[in-house]
């Protein structure tokens, strides 16, 4: 409930006045009473001192009448309640109460203390005392009744006793304070009323107007204005509000116009534009998205975007999003890529996807721009098939044409006229160009499909380069370019396919020659670089434009399209060279500045003596493995050793593409670089095992960090093995080949007798697919299963629903009567006598997954 200022301010003043009044009463009344007490005591002391002197003089003169008159004057004072003068034997001599005269103090009751009387006589000094309520005082003062001779101490000492009542004074003082507070309160009330009136007429009405206009503005009435007059702060606030309202109104108008334009763009865009929040729920869905996916906006808004994704993207999407929000590690954000999507009718189709992150009002959103590339893919497939078909169909007739032209120009048909000879030369030159193009196209197709054959053998680097230079000498001489070999090598060998090596060199040398000036020099340099040989081809040409650097190794790429005609290139040579070098476990790159020539160089691993040679390699597609990692995960040395082992390691860095490629069935094994996968390792393995086709695919985690690998082995992952990258590369490759061979033979059969389904689910994930796994939930089921099947090892829980697992130990024997290895895996510690009867005893709460798997492998003789 909101109160207006005209009420709140006076109420606050009244409350303040009440508090001040209460505080004044609390503070001033005690002060006033203390002042009364102090003054009354001083008055009493003065009164008693004077009376003491008067009485002493009267008794010294023997004037008893004078003493009685003094007592009468003292008793007439309003505050004096009682006056008594007693002699030295405590008999009342004079009193304001006549009935007490002549009587002893023990005969009258007026509160006189005999001890206090004796104290006054003994000390010859008067004193006063407060009663408990501090409303009255009692005073005892000695009076000299008679003195003999010149003695200093009188012979007879009486005591003057007075009761002094100050309650009336205190009451008057308290009343005075209360009257003052009442006057202040009345003044405060009047002031509050006056201020209320001033607030009402000077401020409240203006504030009310301001509040009213603000409420109108908040309700959406953009024309609300205050228009307050004056020069005070309130008027300035009103003016500021009016200016703000005017600007906001203008901004809103412009914003609405902009939103209208943007909405028109979204509604008419040819690409689907979808916005999701940080949890993946769809916030916007434009008409193009409705047309592409088959959903209306009403159907899809508020639904998680994974509904538009087929497997494996559907299951992996939440992991992508949460991992990015947690780590900031970008995998698809800001990167255009081709993926698959799912229409409402269940159709899976290819799309180009570009995801961008935006922040609106401190809230994170993701915008996906989607283009249906079904038709483009169809056209590309048709184009590829057409090119392949045409290339194959053209190769034979072109070869015949080239041969025939060669015979004719060689003089087999006799001498030809110069004009005919020139025309035949043009025809022969172009037929050779067509054949090179077709051969390059077919080479690219073979490399991409994994069907290119390689024959590896250790060969001397220098001799290979000399052969390449000799093969290209005529071409260089024709262009007026000199080829120079520069090296510092001494009998170093590389394991290569000589034909493919010469193909790479021919491409690099011919390119260098074509773009070098006449009488230029092309240098072919070779040097050792650690365990690699670095081969460079250096020209003196015009260099490569900077804008073309990123496209240099792409198919059909030319720095200038006119170069194809002028220089005779196909635009495929560098793409083929890159693929061949990588098949050899090497890397190729270049450096160049426009106008300063170019240097193309590639590295190949050296062949060390003692390495196994492989004279012939089957098509690489027959023994392929896939590595999930980065470029650094797959070194040239590792590729070379894999190639020698009749294995090809392909690299994949994106999870969605990884699952898609694994589903093709081309791979014998998956390697996962733990340093690359990191915290996503469990999610990667889980997604792989969801695909029924990949349930038995061997998955090996390779760790370059021994400590990290050791920590991760406790994870409940369905892995075949862990390998340390720090071991010798050859041993790593041998281990991979061994795991592939083992995966193609029979598995150990494990029976797990356990009634807890959660435990069996975990153990199943640990053991499969390396081992065949069967569960029995109780003693009876275990006996039934064991009577029908044979097993290599039994995992046994002691506490079962229908008995103790220990009772089964005598029955766990094979067909020859020999005991089967038994591992007790229970929540309880087994008795020492039971432990002696089994191969191992593990407690569930103290055993990690890796320890259980390691123990089983050790018992079965498969420890690694």
Kindly report, residue by residue over 24-58, the tens digit of the pLDDT.
888 888 898 899 889 989 988 999 999 988 888 88
Is it the case that residue 741 has pLDDT exceeding 60?
no
Q: How far apart are CA 394 and CA 174, in angstroms?
A: 127
Contact 674, 703 (CB under 8 A): yes
Q: Supply the DSSP symbol for 277.
A: E
Is it the case that residue 149 has pLDDT exceeding 70?
no
Closest CA to 321 of 765, 785, 655: 655
Contact 805, 798 (CB under 8 A): yes
Q: Which residues contact 289 (CB under 8 A, 6 or more apart)?
A: 272, 273, 274, 295, 370
Of the two residues 91 and 198, the one the predictor is more confident about is 91
Q: How far apart are CA 754 and CA 410, in angstroms?
A: 87
Flag the least confident range among 77-81, 163-167, 567-571: 567-571
Is it the case that residue 272 has pLDDT exceeding 50?
yes
Banded pLDDT at 714 (limits 50, 70, 90): very low
| Residue 691 tokens, joined | 């695909």
Q: Average pLDDT, stretch 141-169?
A: 78
**C-beta contacts of 524-528 below 8 A and 24+ residues apart:** 524/465, 524/468, 524/469, 524/483, 524/484, 524/485, 524/486, 525/486, 525/487, 526/461, 526/462, 526/465, 526/485, 526/486, 526/487, 526/488, 526/489, 527/487, 527/488, 527/489, 528/488, 528/489, 528/492, 528/606
Q: Which residues contact 62 (CB under 8 A, 6 or more apart)?
A: none
Flag the least confident range among 541-545, 575-579, 661-665, 711-715: 711-715
Predicted local confidence at residue 599, as pLDDT? 92
Highest mean pLDDT among 142-146, 594-598, 721-725, 785-789: 142-146
Contact 720, 699 (CB under 8 A): yes
Exposure string for 610-622, b = 16+ CB within 10 A, e = fewer: ebeeeeebeebee
Q: Please indicate, yes or no, whether the overall pTM of this predicted structure exceeds 0.85.
A: no
DSSP-assigned letters across all residues of 127-154:
EEEE-TTSSEEEEEEEEEEE--TT-SS-
Query: What is the 3-state secondary structure of 745-776?
Result: CCCCEEEEECCCHHHHHHHHHHHCCCCEEEEE
Is it the case that residue 565 has pLDDT exceeding 50?
no
Is it the case that residue 712 has pLDDT exceeding 50?
no
Contact 309, 342 (CB under 8 A): yes
Flag the least confident range among 201-210, 591-600, 661-670, 701-710: 701-710
Q: How far apart are CA 211 and CA 216, in angstroms?
A: 9
Cα radius of gyration rounded to whole Å, the chain? 56
Question: How many Cβ atoms are within 10 Å of 637's Cβ, its own excluded?
Answer: 18
Is it the case that residue 466 has pLDDT exceeding 80?
yes
Question: Given its phi and psi angles, is residue 732 left (phi above 0), alpha (psi -120 to 50 degrees) or beta?
Answer: alpha
Which CATH number does the domain 450-605 belong to among 3.30.565.10, 3.40.1280.10, 3.30.450.70, 1.20.120.160?
3.30.565.10
Span between the terminal Cα atoms of the chain, in Å: 77
Alpha helices in 133-276 (DSSP H): 167-199, 205-218, 233-268
Is it the case that residue 517 has pLDDT exceeding 80?
yes
Q: How far apart are CA 338 and CA 350, in angstroms?
A: 7
Helix 5-61 vs helix 64-75: angle between axes, to the nearest 10 degrees? Answer: 170
Query: What is the 3-state secondary structure of 607-643?
Result: CCCCCCCCCCCCCHHHCEEEEECCHHHCCHHHHHHHH
Q: How far apart are CA 170 and CA 416, in angstroms?
A: 153
For the chain, give the percent of residues with pLDDT over 90: 11
Q: How far apart are CA 712 and CA 727, in angstroms?
A: 18
Predicted local confidence at residue 715, as pLDDT? 43
Q: How far apart are CA 701 and CA 710, in angstroms?
A: 11
Kindly report, residue by residue over 583-635, the tens digit of the pLDDT.
888 899 988 877 788 999 999 998 875 554 444 333 333 357 888 887 776 76
Q: How far apart are CA 144 and CA 158, in angstroms?
A: 6
Q: How far apart are CA 756 and CA 735, in angstroms?
A: 36
Report, at the CATH architecture level, how domain 7-172 is classified.
Answer: 2-Layer Sandwich (3.30)
Q: Which residues contact 60 (CB under 8 A, 6 or more apart)?
A: 144, 146, 147
Of the two residues 714 and 667, the one the predictor is more confident about is 667
Domain boundaries, the chain: 7-172, 269-372, 385-447, 450-605, 620-733, 749-860
What 3-state DSSP class applies to 193?
A: helix
What superfamily in CATH does domain 269-372 come from? PAS domain (3.30.450.20)
Could you tell me whether strands 127-130 and 136-146 are parallel, antiparallel, or unpaired per DSSP bridges?
antiparallel
Predicted local confidence at residue 381, as pLDDT? 76
Q: How far apart are CA 848 and CA 344, in angstroms?
A: 45
Report, at the CATH architecture level, how domain 620-733 is classified.
Answer: 3-Layer(aba) Sandwich (3.40)
Could you tell me whether strands 348-360 and 667-673 are parallel, antiparallel, or unpaired per DSSP bridges?
unpaired
Kindly report, residue by residue over 244-258, the tens digit of the pLDDT.
888 888 888 888 888
Is it the case that residue 191 has pLDDT exceeding 60?
yes
Residue 524: which H helix or E strand, with range? strand 521-529
Kindly report, residue by residue over 423-465, the tens digit of the pLDDT.
888 887 787 777 677 767 767 776 766 666 678 889 999 999 9
**Please, what is the Cα angle at 294 between 289 and 296, to 5 degrees?**
70
Is it the case that residue 728 has pLDDT exceeding 60?
no
Question: Given its phi and psi angles, is residue 346 left (phi above 0), alpha (psi -120 to 50 degrees) or beta?
Answer: left
Is it the case that residue 744 has pLDDT exceeding 50?
no
Highest mean pLDDT among 101-110, 362-371, 622-631: 362-371
Question: How many Cβ atoms are within 10 Å of 824's Cβ, its own excluded?
Answer: 24
Segments of 687-726 assigned E as strands: 699-703, 721-724
Is it the case that residue 515 has pLDDT exceeding 70?
yes
Contact 137, 40 (CB under 8 A): yes
What superfamily in CATH does domain 749-860 come from? Response regulator (3.40.50.2300)
Predicted local confidence at residue 710, as pLDDT? 42
Helix 498-514 vs helix 461-478: angle between axes, to the nearest 10 degrees? Answer: 40
Question: How many Cβ atoms are within 10 Å of 816's Cβ, its own excluded?
Answer: 5
Question: How many Cβ atoms are within 10 Å of 834's Cβ, its own excluded?
Answer: 19
| Residue 416 tokens, joined | 């030809």
Predicted local confidence at residue 864, as pLDDT? 39
Q: How far apart are CA 342 and CA 349, in angstroms?
A: 6
| Residue 822 tokens, joined | 């038994």
Could you tell me whether strands 648-652 and 667-673 are parallel, antiparallel, or unpaired per DSSP bridges?
unpaired
Domains 450-605 and 749-860 share a fold: no
Q: Average pLDDT, stretch 844-860?
A: 76
Q: How far apart are CA 32 and CA 655, in angstroms?
A: 90
For the chain, give the percent of residues with pLDDT over 70: 79
* Mean residue pLDDT across the chain: 79
Segments of 732-849 assigned E as strands: 749-753, 772-776, 793-796, 799-800, 803-804, 822-826, 840-843
Beta partners for residue 772, in sequence order: 749
Is it the case that residue 300 has pLDDT exceeding 60?
yes
């Amino acid at each position: 409930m909101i109160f207006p200022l005209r009420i709140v301010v006076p109420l606050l003043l009244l409350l303040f006045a009440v508090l001040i009044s209460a505080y004044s009463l609390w503070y001033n009344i005690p002060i006033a009473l203390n002042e009364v007490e102090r003054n009354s005591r001083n008055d009493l002391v003065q009164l008693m001192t004077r009376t003491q002197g008067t009485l002493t003089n009267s008794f010294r003169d023997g004037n008893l009448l004078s003493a009685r008159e003094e007592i009468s004057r003292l008793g007439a004072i309003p505050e004096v309640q009682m006056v008594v003068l007693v002699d030295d034997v405590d008999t009342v001599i004079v009193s304001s109460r006549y009935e007490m005269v002549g009587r002893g103090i023990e005969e009258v009751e007026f509160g006189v203390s005999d001890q206090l009387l004796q104290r006054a006589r003994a000390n010859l000094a008067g004193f006063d005392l407060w009663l408990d309520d501090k409303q009255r005082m009692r005073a005892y003062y000695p009076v000299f009744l008679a003195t003999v001779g010149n003695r200093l101490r009188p012979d007879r000492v009486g005591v003057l006793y007075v009761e002094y009542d100050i309650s009336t004074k205190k009451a008057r003082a308290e009343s005075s304070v209360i009257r003052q507070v009442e006057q202040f309160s009345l003044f405060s009330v009047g002031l509050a009323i006056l201020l209320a009136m001033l607030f009402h007429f000077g401020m409240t009405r203006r504030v009310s107007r301001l509040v009213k206009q603000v409420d109108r503005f908040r309700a959406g009435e953009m024309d609300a204005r205050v228009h307050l007059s004056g020069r005070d702060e309130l008027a300035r606030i009103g003016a500021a509000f009016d200016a703000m309202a005017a600007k906001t109104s203008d901004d809103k108008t412009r914003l609405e116009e902009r939103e209208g334009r943007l909405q028109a763009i979204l509604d008419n865009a040819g690409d689907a534009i979808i916005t999701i929040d940080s949890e993946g729920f769809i916030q916007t869905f434009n008409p193009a998205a409705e047309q592409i996916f088959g959903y209306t906006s009403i159907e899809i808004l508020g639904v998680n975007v994974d509904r538009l994704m087929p497997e494996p993207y559907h299951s992996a999407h939440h992991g992508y999003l949460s991992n990015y929000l947690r780590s900031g590690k970008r995998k698809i954000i800001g990167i255009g890529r081709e993926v698959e999507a799912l229409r409402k009718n269940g159709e899976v189709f290819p799309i180009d996807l570009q995801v961008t992150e935006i922040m609106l009002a401190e809230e994170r959103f993701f915008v996906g721009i989607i283009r249906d590339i079904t038709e483009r893919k169809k056209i590309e497939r048709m184009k590829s098939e057409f090119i392949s078909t045409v290339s194959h169909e053209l190769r034979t007739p072109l070869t015949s044409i080239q041969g025939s032209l060669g015979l004719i120009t060689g003089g087999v048909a006799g001498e030809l006229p110069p004009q005919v000879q020139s025309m035949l030369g043009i025809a022969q030159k172009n037929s050779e160009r067509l054949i090179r193009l077709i051969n390059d196209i077919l080479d690219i197709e073979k490399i991409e499909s994994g069907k290119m054959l390689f024959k590896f053998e250790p060969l001397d680097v220098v001799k290979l380069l000399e052969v390449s230079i000799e093969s290209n000498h005529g071409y260089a001489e024709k262009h007026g370019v000199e080829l120079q070999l520069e090296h510092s090598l001494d009998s170093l060998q590389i394991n290569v396919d000589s034909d493919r090596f010469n193909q790479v060199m021919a491409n690099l040398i011919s390119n260098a020659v074509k773009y070098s000036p006449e009488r230029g020099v092309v240098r072919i340099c070779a040097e050792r670089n650690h365990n690699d040989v670095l081969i460079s081809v250096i020209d003196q040409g015009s260099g490569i434009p900077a804008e073309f650097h990123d496209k240099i190794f792409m198919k059909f790429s030319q720095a200038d399209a006119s170069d194809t005609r002028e220089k005779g290139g196909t635009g495929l040579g560098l793409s083929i060279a890159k693929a061949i070098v990588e098949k050899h476990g090497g890397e190729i790159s270049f450096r160049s500045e426009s106008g300063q020539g170019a240097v193309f160089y590639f590295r190949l691993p050296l062949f060390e003596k003692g390495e196994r040679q492989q004279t012939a390699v089957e098509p690489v597609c027959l023994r392929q493995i896939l590595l999930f990692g980065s470029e650094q995960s797959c070194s040239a040395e590792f590729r070379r050793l894999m190639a020698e082992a009749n294995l090809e390691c392909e690299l994949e860095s994106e999870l969605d593409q990884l699952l898609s490629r694994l589903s093709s069935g081309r791979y014998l094994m998956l390697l996962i670089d733990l340093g690359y996968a990191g915290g996503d390792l469990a999610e990667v393995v889980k997604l792989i095992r969801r695909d029924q086709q990949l349930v038995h695919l061997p998955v090996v985690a390779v760790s370059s960090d021994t400590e990290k690998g050791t920590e991760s082995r406790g994870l409940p992952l369905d892995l075949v093995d862990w390998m340390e990258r720090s071991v010798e590369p050859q041993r790593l490759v041998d281990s991979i080949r061994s795991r592939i061979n083992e995966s193609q033979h029979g598995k150990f059969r494990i029976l797990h007798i356990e009634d807890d389904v959660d435990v069996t689910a975990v153990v199943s994930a640990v053991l499969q697919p390396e081992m065949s796994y069967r569960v029995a939930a109780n003693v009876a089921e275990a006996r039934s299963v064991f009577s029908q099947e044979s097993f290599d090892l039994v995992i046994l829980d002691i506490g079962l629903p229908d008995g103790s697992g220990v009772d089964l130990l005598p029955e766990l024997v094979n067909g020859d009567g020999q005991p089967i290895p038994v591992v007790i895996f229970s929540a309880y510690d087994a008795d020492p006598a039971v432990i002696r009867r089994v191969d191992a005893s593990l407690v569930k709460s103290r055993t990690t997954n890796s320890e259980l798997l390691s123990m089983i492998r050790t018992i079965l003789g498969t420890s690694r």
